[in-house]
Structure 1
Amino acid sequence: MKATSRSATIFQPNQGKTLFLLGNTVTYKFDDQVQGTKLYEFVGTATSELPPLHTHPWDEWFYFLDGEVAFQVGRRLVQAIPGSVVHLPAGVAHTFHIKSSQAKFLVGVSSVAAEQYLKDLAAAAQKRELSSSELIAISQRHGIQFVN
């Protein structure tokens, strides 16, 4: 059996690669290359653009640190405040809307596919204003489906 060398990962505040995405800030905080798990810090405002109701092929969980977020899971609406946790298995429809002036939360994902999706979306958004058809095309390439 081959031994795997693993070491601690430590990020101080304001460390980690940051993407600016549709008025939101997404900062990578943890990347498990072995299992594919990723952890992001998400900071958004009440005026930033957020995803419409959608599904994707990876598990996702949210831990709310600051602010108030109306979080929709299927038809259910949950008010997420600091300390709230939402876990979503792959394929569960969800979206959210920031109710306070700003919100901060951690987002964990179970697949490297989520990271590539964020990178592709951020790259397109940096070049120009992202059209809804472009957002749909990028999302579909990564297995994301929007729910009417």
Structure 2
Amino acid sequence: MTKKSLIVSPEERARPLNIAGFSITVLAAGEQTGGYEIFHQVGPEGTGPGPHFHPWDESFFVLRGEVVCGVDDLETLVKPGALVHISGNTTHWYRFGESGGEILSMTSCEGASHMYEDFDREGSWENPNRDHLVQLAAKHGQVVVDSHD
């Protein structure tokens, strides 16, 4: 594959994908960049992925609102302007805080975009089937960790 420069205007963006109550827009997929991926994520209060890990590194920058996130045994509240980096194969999760939130995220390699597309295409977001989502995640190298809240 030959990498090329990429400019994506708001009018050219892919449609937001519905991922269990929050949205993820793929701004740049791995096949466009030659590796890494960039996403815009927006969600109402309380939405976000539960504990999981995957082989790719992931970083996110908080644009708006507050985000409660956990990395291994550390839980913290991050606010606009904060950057969070999670190394591959590290258990992590996040939830958008009061009044919802908005983040810009990036992964170190191709993979997440395909998983998000599968979630959006095959999920029933009014009543998501957790077992089905776990199977879809596993297909892409992501492991969902049971939480014992």
Work out the CA distance in 2 between the residues paired with 1:140 and 1:7. Answer: 32
CA shift, 1:107, in A, is: 0.9
- Structure 2 counterpart of 1:42, one-letter code: Q
1:127–1:104: structure 2 CA closer, same or farther, 3 Å change rule?
closer
Which whole-Å deviations, capped at 9, do the CAs of 1:51-102 have from their partners, x for residues lacking one? 2211001111000000011110001012110000001111011001222211
Match of 2:45 in 1: 46
CA shift, 1:130, in A, is: 2.3
8 A contact 1:69–1:103 mirrored in 2: yes
Work out the CA distance in 1 between the residues paired with 2:123 and 2:74. Answer: 30
Match of 1:111 in 2: 109
Match of 2:35 in 1: 36
Match of 2:132 in 1: 134
CA shift, 1:6, in A, is: 2.9
Match of 1:145 in 2: 143
Paired positions, count: 143
Residue of 12, 17, 20 corresponding to 2:18 = 20
Q: Mark the structure with the bigger radius of gyration.
A: 1
1:77–1:15: structure 2 CA closer, same or farther, 3 Å change rule?
farther
8 A contact 1:67–1:100 mirrored in 2: yes
- Structure 2 counterpart of 1:66, one-letter code: R
8 A contact 2:46–2:97 mirrored in 1: no
Matches within 5 A, 1:84-103: 84-103=82-101
1:75–1:47: structure 2 CA closer, same or farther, 3 Å change rule?
closer
CA shift, 1:112, in A, is: 1.8
The root-mean-square deviation of aligned C-alpha atoms, in Å, is 2.0
8 A contact 2:56–2:108 mirrored in 1: yes
CA shift, 1:15, in A, is: 4.8
TM-score normalised by L of structure 1: 0.86
CA shift, 1:27, in A, is: 1.2
CA shift, 1:30, in A, is: 2.5
Work out the CA distance in 2 between the residues paired with 1:24 and 1:94. Answer: 17
8 A contact 1:43–1:102 mirrored in 2: yes
TM-score normalised by L of structure 2: 0.85
- Structure 2 counterpart of 1:28, one-letter code: V
Gaps of 5+ in 2: none
